[in-house]
Amino acid sequence: MNQSRLTPDEWQETARLVSLDEADFPAGRHAFHREELMNFIDQDTRSAASATTLAPTAPARRRGFMRPLIVIPAAACSLAVIAVGVLTLTGSSSGSRSLVAGPALTAQVGAVTAQGVPQLLDQISLAAAKKPAPTVRPGQYIYIESQVGTTYEKTVDDKTTVVSDGIHRRQTWRSTDGAKGWLIDPAVFPPGGGTIDHINEKGEIQPPSLNGPSYNYLATLTTDPDTLLAKIYKETEGQGNSPDQQAFTTIGDLLNESMPPADLNVALFKTATKIPGVVLVKDAVDAAGRHGVAVARLDETSGARTEWIFDAKSYTYLGERTIQVRPHGGDSGKIEPGTILYTSAITARQAVDEMKQVPSSAA
């Protein structure tokens, strides 16, 4: 299965066969990957004992997650039971996503080199270790604000075109135990957003995992790079187009739309040095237009390269981008090199006291 993700149109088509009332989201990134969704469903089918009722109110996009812990809702106002996770996703009972499909997002494909990758990741690790550890108290919510955009294939009357939802603001709030959440993203919900609660039909909190982490869960993970990588390989076995690519994806998800505790944040970069095929991109641009240096890996199956972008001087994490590198990408073969399949730019990441509270630094 290639990595083109389900588009809003495909969700609507799917809803004619199976309607959804809740939807879960993979841990992080790239809402554009259909394979991400299928892998997520497969993993939750193995790990969750209960079935889930799914049904959002508006078609969504990746990503993802959507890969920034991106929610993937389906069409509106219907019910079904699917053996996947238990993230209750509820939006407005009327209206639809407010974004209209526009031109594909594109950029120049940057040159890569395998030289200097360990040194760069060491510098990133050292910079992360020097940053003040975030203060997170029980009962708080992790607030993450970003600029995101996704390019996808849209098919109407058997004609497929490559379009995007454009760069737009995205806001998420998640309780530290992972049970409660709120998402505002016009590519997913009508204005005002909707809930993304990790609670099953019995009122029980869904156990967190690498593909659906909470802040409390991340605090329990080992910070030994070898042990952490072994855990990632084991828990994501069978997912992605290769074990190495999926390991890189999993770490990227944790970096992009979660808030790993300080020690784990450092460990993730050290763990990435142990994944084969990781390269350096000297110039990459995030969704906010900020230039930086990137740690990247090419998915040999899809021909798309995922890039973690860092400020070239401070080594602060800026965001993530997945860009098509090889021709004839996607199911249609119409996704050409330079097409940005998913892009993000983290603009705020902080613990807040209440759901929907926006810190002054992000207001």
Q: What is the token pair recorded at 159?
A: 């004609």
Tell me the helix, strand and coil percentages in the chain, rounded to 5. Answer: 20, 30, 50
Spell out the per-residue pLDDT of the chain, length 363, in tens.
333 334 444 433 333 332 223 333 333 333 333 333 433 333 343 333 333 333 333 333 333 333 443 333 332 222 222 223 444 455 543 345 668 889 999 999 999 999 999 999 999 999 999 999 889 999 999 999 999 999 999 999 999 999 999 999 999 999 999 999 999 999 999 989 999 998 888 888 889 999 899 999 999 999 999 999 999 999 999 999 999 999 999 999 999 999 999 999 999 999 999 999 999 999 999 999 999 999 999 999 999 999 999 999 999 999 999 999 999 999 999 999 999 999 999 999 999 999 999 998 766
Indicate the pTM of the whole model: 0.79
Structure tokens at 305: 């390269």
The confidence score (pLDDT) of residue 203 equals: 84
Read off the tokens for 222: 């080992």
Helix (H, G, I), strand (E, B) or coil at 179: coil
Residue type, 259: M
Q: Measure Cα distances from 292 to 28, 275, 281, 310, 315 in Å.
A: 21, 22, 9, 5, 9
- pLDDT at position 53: 32
Instruction: Kindly state the tokens that stand for 207.
Output: 């156990």
- CA 85, CA 72: separation in Å to the nearest integer? 12
User: What 8-state DSSP symbol labels residue 137?
Assistant: -
Other C-beta atoms within 10 Å of 197: how many? 21
Q: Is the dihedral of CA 260, 266, 267, 269 positive or negative?
A: positive
**DSSP per residue over 1-63, as a string?**
---PPPPHHHHHHHHHHS--S-----SS--TT-HHHHHHHHHHHHHH-SS-EE---SS-----
First to last CA, the chain: 41
Beta strand 159-164 with 168-175: parallel, antiparallel or unpaired? unpaired
Cβ(263)–Cβ(90) under 8 Å? no
Q: Beta-carbon neighbour count of residue 79 at 10 Å? A: 12
CB 282 within 8 A of CB 340: no
Q: Single out the residue of 8, 4, 10 nearest to residue 36, CA to CA.
A: 4
Euclidean distance between CA atoms 74 and 96, whole angstroms: 11
